[in-house]
Structure 1
Amino acid sequence: MLDVIRPDIQNLHAYAVQPSTGFIKLDVMENPHRLPPDLQAELGARLSAVALNRYPAERLDDLRAALARHAGLPEGCALMLGNGSDELISLLTQAIARPGAVVLAPQPSFVMYQLSCQLLGPRFVGVPCRAEDFALDRNALLDAIALHRPALLWLAYPNNPTGTLWDDEVIEALIAAMQHHGLVVMDEAYQPFAARDSLERLRRHPHVMVMRTMSKFGLAGVRIGYLMGRTELVAQVEKLRPPFNVSVLNAEAALFALEHEAVYAAQAAAIRAERERLFAALQALPGVTPFPSQANMVLARFPDAAATFAQLKARGILVKNVSAMHPLLHNCLRLTVGTPEENSALIKALQP
């Protein structure tokens, strides 16, 4: 029966999630903070009143409107919902997947850009970042745009797994080069932790879209992503969205969170402060090179990433070994910023 499955699918490896029970979990860039008990109880009461016998309907309109207010959606733009950012990546890839279409992205970056192309048909072209600092290679990217004429350029801002908030002047040059070829999508999954965003680019450029998620906001378990762009452009991608792709429970939880966004903003501020403490501690370790981050993780190169990963796991701490993701990530671990107590435990476990 396996013969009916596409050979390329059979050769893929499923996304692996490490078992985490009993561990300090610093491997998947989650917000480590839960809601205070009183808000947990209030949310539970809200969810218990949701009509689970009904398909999602007007409540999704309420969520779109609330997210538009939260993000500051520019005039002339629209917002569509996704079941996390992953679904939106697939829908955008599907939308541009004409014969010969090319998708371009710097590398290393989020693995779903390339995987969606493998599954849906466009040819993926990855352009390596600068080896010394994971910055965008301006000339290499401009050359790739001129050569391949991509229908879609992904720019994660900040980037995953490096945490890099790329140079604005380089991004503007890439947007200008793409205006006669296709779309530029700014993937702002880590926007709550970054010093800058791309909403002004959305206002100025009709071929720029901005994608965000509530996962890093603090709702990784709720699976809400959203895509912003010019109304006429979003309307075309919206045609591919499965009906009822966001559940009534997820929508209600997201609305509740937006009503208490000050709580999540305080959590993000605490994470940013802890990120700087973790970065400084990594800088002090002999032989370790951390890279500046504007996300809720820090990428660091170790003398032996596999040995350090095993050492941390033996001490009950899970991080992400990204060494095999791309040659530029050789001996690199990605460390999610946790609570102060979790970060202290990580720092202690890394001591020689």
Structure 2
Amino acid sequence: MSANDPITNPALDTLIQRRIRPDVQAMHAYTVQNATGLVKLDAMENPHRLSPELQAELGQRLGAVALNRYPGPRITDLMVALQQHAALPEGYALMLGNGSDELISLLALACAVPPSAANSQKKAVVLAPEPGFVMYAMSAQLQGLDYVGVPLTADFELDLPAMLAAIDQHQPAITFLAYPNNPTANLWDDEALEAIITTAGEQGGLVVIDEAYQPFATKSYADRLTRHPHVLLLRTLSKFGLAGVRLGYLIGPQTLISQLDKVRPPYNVSVLNCEAALFALEHQAVFEQQAQDICRQREQLLTVLAEFPGVTVFPSQANMILIRLPDAQKTFEGMKARGVLVKNVSKMHSLLNNCLRLTVGTSPENHQMLAALEASL
């Protein structure tokens, strides 16, 4: 028996069977690939590190933080800084989360209205196009909502008739629209997006525009946010360059945010997360330059990948590129053997058959990735 093998305990097995929800027992935990010794291009992280000078400055600030105290007024300072960063419209507010994952979960929790005589649905519903971000479905399940996934078209566009029909049938409490989408990396058609938002609102549901990859996109929904009071904008600092800090924020009308904020755990953002985020916002020009470099690298990758025989390259407005190959698993294993870790998404959804998702890295990382891909085809 290895150190990682579970210990067999009949009494513990019985306890799990009796007390852990059957659907949780049947779930697969979210797994993170081991990237030790590999060029890590599987998780859409910003590949750039801070300069030694900024590392030293940040270290001094974090060292001075009062770790013995619960988060206090600095959280308010962070919210003010984020309001300025996001150019919040008048009458709008934001809510902080430990990454956008927590905010997705809290949204589901707040909207898990139990069945009643006045409610014809058995459960509240979360709806999203698929393939999409896995946490929409997982959070719905864990919070006791039903989840409805609506397949995209073969070229990963919104299937507008199918989306409208699903909204009409299921009357979702929340409709998630990632903009750009993960893992397909594309922005949605504006007319289709507006039609879905309008229809969901007419059915009495919320719409969440998830802009996790906004730093790399040519468009944002932020300038259209005030058109619809039922629309919330979800963002994260992970792709801004702070994936390790875990900080997300939700923007919406103040009256709506004040209700959603009631389910947020107190002190859900640590003093270290807060100070690191404030530091980054004070140096946002540095992170904007990093984003610009990633966009340049992305365009170069798209051009080179288009020349690879047998490889289909899909458009990207994010810091990732989706490609389809003759044998995704074989190519994935070949690239890993050559020191490059990407994401094999071919089993996530039937539309992603034989697809790999490549994170855009630094110029040297991208050259190594291209060489590994070419050798593994």
Provide the rounded CA distance (Å) in 2 between the counterparts of 1:155 and 1:14: 23
Alignment pair present for 1:12 and 2:27: yes
Please state how far the C-alpha of 1:200 moved relative to its aligned partner: 2.3
User: What is aligned with 2:43?
Assistant: 28
Q: Which runs of 4+ in 1 moved over 2 A?
A: none
Please state how far the C-alpha of 1:217 moved relative to its aligned partner: 0.2
Provide the rounded CA distance (Å) in 1 between the counterparts of 2:32 and 2:149: 25
Amino acid at match of 2:169: L
User: What is aligned with 1:193?
Assistant: 216
Matches within 5 A, 1:31-70: 31-70=46-85
User: What is aligned with 2:10?
Assistant: none
Please state how far the C-alpha of 1:2 moved relative to its aligned partner: 1.3
Matches within 5 A, 1:270-349: 270-349=293-372
Query: Is the radius of gyration larger for structure 1 or structure 2?
Result: 2
| CA contact 1:96–1:151 (8 Å) conserved in 2 | yes
Alignment pair present for 1:124 and 2:147: yes
User: What is aligned with 1:155?
Assistant: 177
Q: Deviations over 1:305-336 (max 9, x none)?
A: 00000000000100000011000000000000
User: What is aligned with 1:94?
Assistant: 109
Q: Deviations over 1:222-247 (max 9, x none)?
A: 00000000000000110000000000
Tell me the TM-score normalized by structure 2: 0.92
Tell me the TM-score normalized by structure 1: 0.99
Please state how far the C-alpha of 1:87 moved relative to its aligned partner: 0.2
Provide the rounded CA distance (Å) in 2 between the counterparts of 1:88 and 1:290: 32
Provide the rounded CA distance (Å) in 1 between the counterparts of 2:196 and 2:105: 22
User: What is aligned with 2:119?
Assistant: none
Q: Deviations over 1:103-153 (max 9, x none)?
A: 11000000000001111111111100011x201011110111111111110
Please state how far the C-alpha of 1:21 moved relative to its aligned partner: 1.4
User: What is aligned with 1:262?
Assistant: 285
Q: Deviations over 1:167-218 (max 9, x none)?
A: 1111111111111321010000000000011112321110000000000000
Greater Cα offset, 266-275 or 192-201: 192-201
Q: Deviations over 1:10-53 (max 9, x none)?
A: 11111111111111000000000011110010000000000000
Q: Which of 85, 91, 105 is the aligned partner of 2:128?
A: 105
Alignment: residue pair count: 351
Provide the rounded CA distance (Å) in 1 between the counterparts of 2:134 and 2:94: 24
Provide the rounded CA distance (Å) in 2 between the counterparts of 1:23 and 1:144: 42
Amino acid at match of 1:118: Q
Structure 1: gaps spanning 5 or more residues: none
Please state how far the C-alpha of 1:5 moved relative to its aligned partner: 0.9
Q: Percent identity?
A: 64
| Structure 2 residue matching 1:239: 3-state secondary structure | helix
Amino acid at match of 1:78: A
| Structure 2 residue matching 1:299: 3-state secondary structure | strand
Provide the rounded CA distance (Å) in 2 between the counterparts of 1:110 and 1:52: 34
